[in-house]
Amino acid sequence: MGKAIGVFDSGVGGLTVVKELIRQLPAEDIIYFGDTARVPYGIKSKETVIRFSIENILFLLKQEVKLICIACNTVSSVALPIIQNHFKVPMVGVLESGVREAVYATRNKRIGVIGTRGTIKSRAYEIQIKQLDPQVKVTAAACPLFVPFVEEGWLSGRPVLEVAQSYLKPIKKAGVDTVILGCTHYPLLKPVIREVLGKKVTLIDSAKQVAMEVKNILAQEGLLNKGRRGKQRFYVSDNPEWFSGLAKRFLGRPVRGKKSGAE
């Protein structure tokens, strides 16, 4: 393996970003770290999230990565602005990419944001959207059951649809034309979300925007791989069997997670 793209998340959700990186950058090697021992990050204090993030970055730097992709909304909203200046390696978070695309996509200047309680409570998406365009009206909604639905493989059916209808009621009522999927698990629920909100609403999947940004940075730095097929390695801080079972659902193929401490 040459120099790889490093990706980390608190658990398995970041694999939606990995899937998109593989699709857009098939020649690149990827090293993924899932901090499964300490998931979820959304309920942790800011100081703790920053400390965990630094430990995860140091682990990836030991693997000699050329860029780090932070595939965690909590870290992107809480820690990235503070830690990115302390490392020389380029870093890309899921938040800024999604915000830019949403502000560009909206026609009626009404954007919805859905995410975990931690992400919504931080108001990080709202703040960044307002910085880019103060005229945009933001409606946010926490969807706490979406993550366990995805992890249990409940991607459709009446119970999922009814919960989605309940969660998305304020988003629908606000008349938004664009919705940011502010959690890396949520792209797997796109068909249900689309059914509730209607086909005219644009769904912004951060994974696609992040992969495009990674591609642009590597191209600018002259670091893109060409003419080969990239390899992936997956590390977790705990429970590799659980991770491997879920990873298959996210990536559509079997994956073997190796146990490795973040420190």
- Among 72, 111, 143, 164, the active-site one is 72
183 is catalytic: yes
Cis preceding linkage at 159, omega within 30: no
Contact 181, 110 (CB under 8 A): no
Q: Return d(Cα 127, Cα 82) in angstroms, integer.
A: 16
Task: Tell me, rounded to whole angstroms, the distance of Cα 204 from its chain centroid.
Answer: 11
- Among 17, 183, 201, 236, the active-site one is 183
Contact 120, 183 (CB under 8 A): no
The DSSP code for 192 is H
69 is catalytic: no
At 177, the amino acid letter reads: D
Contact 27, 88 (CB under 8 A): no
Q: Which residues are catalytic?
A: 72, 183
